[in-house]
Amino acid sequence: MFTLSFILMTVSIQAQVAVSSQSNYNKLRVGGGIGLNFGSNSYFGFNISPFVGYALAPQLEAGLTAGYQYGKSDYQKSNLFSGGPYVNYYAFPSLFIRGHYEYYTGDLEYRNTGNSFSFDESALWIGGGYQSTGSVRFQTGIMYNVLYNEDDSIFSSGIRPFGGVVVSL
């Protein structure tokens, strides 16, 4: 379980592309991220996390995320799926507050025994971050899962840092 928690507590730097539609006055946000992870014991990980959002007001954006994460090492193999709604409030042009509900489900197989099990968990991430200005923006921040239970979680921590690059087209 510790190894699974370690795998799930990775930091991903993701590239995001915001696509604007003239008919929606630059309100539509479409993008996502892709990540690769390598580690000890021949660990290899891959993740993909698309999103679609809409600016409800100049300072308020809401949308949906989806995600898939695969991890494999000498000892285990895992698949994790996630999805849920998010809300960003831009208090200032460079500072934002984020709320993100996410439901996770997946499976873990121990390769040396063949034993496997399924798991699921809900998370309510609350946090915030910084976003630079301009047509190409860097975004970074940190969130905390207010539903985190140390004794009954697939995560090793309730804290999740995030970062990415946002390109406006």
| CATH number for 111 | 2.40.160
pLDDT in the model for residue 164: 72
Contact 30, 18 (CB under 8 A): yes
pLDDT, tens digit, for every residue of 43-72? 999 999 888 888 899 899 999 999 999 999
Domain ranges, residue 81:
2-168
pLDDT, tens digit, for every residue of 124-135? 999 999 988 876
pLDDT in the model for residue 162: 82
The answer, yes or no, to whether residue 152 has pLDDT greater than 80, is yes
The answer, yes or no, to whether residue 18 has pLDDT greater than 80, is no
Q: What is the pTM of this model?
A: 0.77
How many structural domains are present in the chain?
1
